[in-house]
Each structure stands twice: as structure tokens, then as C-alpha cells.
Homo-oligomer: A and B are copies of this chain.
Amino acid sequence: MSDPFVVVGADAAGLSAASKFRREAPDREVVVFEKGRWISYAYCGMPYFIEGRVERMSNLLSLSPSEVEERGIDLRRDHEVIAVDSDTKTVAVETAEGETIEQGYDDLLVATGGRAETGSFNVRGLDGAFTLHDMNAAAAIDAYIAEPDAYDPARADVSAVDRERVDRNAAMPAPETAAIVGGGYVGVEMAEALSGRGLDVHLFQRSGHLLPPFGEAVGERVADELEAEGVAVHRGTPVKSLVGDDRIEGVALDGAADSVAADLAIVGVGIRPNTELLDGTGVETGEGGAIRTDEYGRTSLPDVYAAGDCATAVHAVTGEEAWMPLGLTANRAGRAVGATIAGDPSPVGEIAGTAVVKAFDMEAGRAGLVEEETAREAGFDPVRETVTAGSRSGYYPGAAPTDVTLVADRDTGRLIGGSIVGPDRAAIRIDTLATALEADMTVPEVERLDLAYAPPFSPVWDPILVAAKVLNGTLDEE
């Protein structure tokens, strides 16, 4: 008898793979091991839960354990896979009871995800200091922010929650001032969320502008929006350390004598791939230290696949290996691996690095290679233009300035990246650029796209077309 398809990790990539596998091969077995209690949660929704826009933590769960089992998936929570032997095709698994069992596999998918970086910051040692990469952290932050007598335990209405941690945080005095370390997605979204909860918010960004992968034009407008909403944005301001004994008291800045007082700190300085399970197996790793995978999600170990935040992918623009831990990437790669293992070889697809973010009423998107340095490193000679154009016909109420940045390769005229920022339906427009990037379009081809026009939605020349026109002019001059 053959062994099952074994999946490590019951989140986006793992459960997408298991579900697709069972749909395609309903008479074959799949076992999913999850080291904790949480499965299938919407990581990207945590800031909106903390903000209070999402009322219950259970709203963020896509699938319950029983729904997973209804799909014919053998889900084992509190089961941590601690070793992989690709010669004997077995994994060693530690159960909740501390037993170690062995499980053979026909194919193995490593979908162990990523975890928040803490850098040099003493996050674990201080009450009121948090990273944001799991639901227990989100529940704890939410409880910590509430006044002790006003906290509603029904907010964290999922049995998997670390109730002891929630209760402990709920009992602490409510904070008034928050320091957010890092101006990436998490930082920007948490700035909005914590302002929404009534806190004074300081956002510290090491480099000169927020959201570095979105480029300067986006960073500037998002910073303006945050400041207009009362967030203190500190750019070019590296945080040296968290200050406090038991509870967070503030953050110390590089080159500044006084620290900035804060009774809540969120450290959002990046995430790293969870690859330790394969340490010592000889598996190849690549960009960002993630597990190297090919176009079908295969690792360098036979019959071992990896998908999601722990795995590399192929970049649509460079054709090279990249590591970009994003939600769609994980879901899609998992699904493709499930199909492939079920007998229907399916490429995991390339990634264009498409991302969107909201900061109060400002929306932004990015795709491809936006920063000059990244483009140069990938072997391009980048030419870039940023234009400001109206989101609608000028006479139609609600028209708002929309900044579009397009980046092209000088030699070939090929579009290699872009960003969009503005308050009026700006973010979703990035999909147009993501599609053009996947199609390897040149900027003249982008300029000739037949994009939509109607006064309530776009001017005759869509902001993307205006940007392409200007960039073509620049390319022609040279």
C-alpha cells in the first residue's frame, strides 16, 4: 500500500494543496500536520481586527477544522513535524502528548510559512511589545489596548486562542501612546488601526520613505495621509532599542539622547521563512534564505515540495528566483502543488510582486521592479517617470490626483515595474500593470492599451496611459 501525501503546515499553502489534491484524487489519502491549534487564518486581516472594523476573531478564519475534515483531509493539530528523512521518505512527528511518531509519505509538501523578524529588539521580554504575525499576537494586542474593565472576551472567540495570554494582556492598564517600528505594510496598516483605537501613534522608518518597495512617490503620499490623520511619521529615524524593564516604556533612537515614550510597541521589521525543518537534509535554499523551488514547487529533495512563505518563486519580470511572502502566492502555489501531486502537473505561476495597501483614505499598489537599485541589480537600465493625473474626468465630482510611476528598461523599452497611489480607486488599478508585466509588454504597447473611459471612473486618458505617454517621451529622447 502506498503512503499518503503529507503536508506540513495547515495554513494557506498547505490547506490549498490538500484541498485541491483531494478534489482531484478523491481516493487517495492526505495528512496535514499542524504544530499548533490555529489553521487557515487570514493574516492580512489582523490589523482590521485590531482596529475594530472586524468584530470577531472568528471572522478571520477561512476554514474550520471540521470543514477541513469534511473535505476528506486527515488534519492533525498539535502535531509538530520535527524531522524529514527523504531517503526513507518518512517524517518524524511530535504529538501533543510528547510522543514521537513516524509517518511515511509518497510526496511531502513543506508549507511551514514564515515568522516575524524581531531584529535586535527585545520584544519577548517586555509587556506591551509585540510583533504581528499570528492570531495569538493579534488577540493579545487587542486585549492589551482595551481598558481592563472594558475588554470583551468574545472578541477572541476562537477556541485555539491562547486565553491565558489574552487575559494577562487584558488586565494591564490601557496604553495611550504607540510606537511602531518599521514603515512597511504592517507598520502602515497598524498606524491606521491603532489611531482608530484612539492611541497617539508614532511610526518610525529607518529609510527616507515609507513602504520602500512601493517607491518614493507612494511613500510620500502615504506619509502625508498618515500625518493628516494625526500619526507622527518619523522618516530616516532608525530605532535603536525598546526601552523598559518589564513593560515597554518607549523607544530609543539612534543618535538621540532622549527616548520617545510609548506604552505600546509594535515591531514590524520584516518576516523570515521557516526553513529549520529541512536543516541538515541538504535541501537547497535561495533568495531570502527560503527553500528553493522550481516551476512546479519541487525542492532539490526527491518528492519534497515547498510552497508559501517558506519557499522561493520565479519573478515574472526578471525570470529569476525571488522570495516574496504574499497571500495569493501561497494559495496559488499550494493549489498547483496539490494538482501536480494528484497527477495533473500544474505550474505554480510566476510572481510579479503585486501588492496593495490602504492607509486611511489613501490607496496604493505596486508591481514588478519599482526601486532603481533593485532594477539595476536585476540587470536592467531603469528609466522612470511619475505623473499625477485625475482619477476621473475633471468635471466629475470625486476626481482625485492619482500618481502613477512607471519604470522601463532603457534598451528594450519594456515595462519592468510601476506603482499607483491616490484616494479614488487607485489600488485596484495596479492589476492592469501586473497583467502588462506578465505579458512582457513594452511601454509603447502599454500606451496603446484600450483602457476604460467613463467620467465617473476614469478620464479619457487613464492615469496609466498618461504615465506611459510621458515615459515614452523620455525613452524617445534618449
- CB-contact partner of A452 in B42, B316, B365, under 8 A: B365
Which residues of the partner chain B approach A356 to less than 8 Å between Cβ atoms?
452-454, 457-458
Report the bound CA distance from A72 to B365 in whole Å.
Answer: 39
- Residue contact A45 to B449, C-beta cutoff 8 Å: no
Which residues of the partner chain B approach A454 to less than 8 Å between Cβ atoms?
44, 355-358, 427
Q: Is A139 an interface residue (CB 8 A)?
A: no
- CB-contact partner of A331 in B354, B393, B432, B461, under 8 A: B461
- Residue contact A428 to B429, C-beta cutoff 8 Å: yes
- CB-contact partner of A434 in B365, B428, B452, under 8 A: B452
- CB-contact partner of A350 in B12, B327, B350, B450, under 8 A: B450
Q: Mark A10-47, 1 if CB is under 8 A from B, else 0.
A: 00100000000000000000000000000000101100
- Residue contact B12 to A460, C-beta cutoff 8 Å: yes
- Residue contact A448 to B332, C-beta cutoff 8 Å: yes
Which residues of the partner chain B approach A326 to less than 8 Å between Cβ atoms?
453
- Residue contact B42 to A462, C-beta cutoff 8 Å: no
- Residue contact B460 to A427, C-beta cutoff 8 Å: no
Given contacts A45-B393, A461-B331, contact A350 B428 (CB under 8 A): no
Q: Mark A447-478, 1 if CB is under 8 A from B, else 0.
A: 01111111111101110110000000000000
Task: With both chains docked as a complex, state the minimum distance between the C-beta of A249 and any C-beta of chain B, in angstroms.
Answer: 33
Which residues of the partner chain B approach A45 to less than 8 Å between Cβ atoms?
393, 395-396, 455
- Residue contact B328 to A453, C-beta cutoff 8 Å: yes
Question: Which residue on chain B has the smallest CB distance to residue A462?
Answer: B431
Task: With both chains docked as a complex, state the minimum distance between the C-beta of A146 and any C-beta of chain B, in angstroms.
Answer: 20
3 interchain residue pairs of minimum CB distance: A439-B439, A349-B448, A59-B395
A45-B396, A355-B454, A428-B457 given. 11 additional CB < 8 A pairs? A42-B393, A42-B395, A44-B455, A45-B455, A48-B455, A327-B453, A328-B461, A331-B461, A363-B457, A431-B431, A435-B436
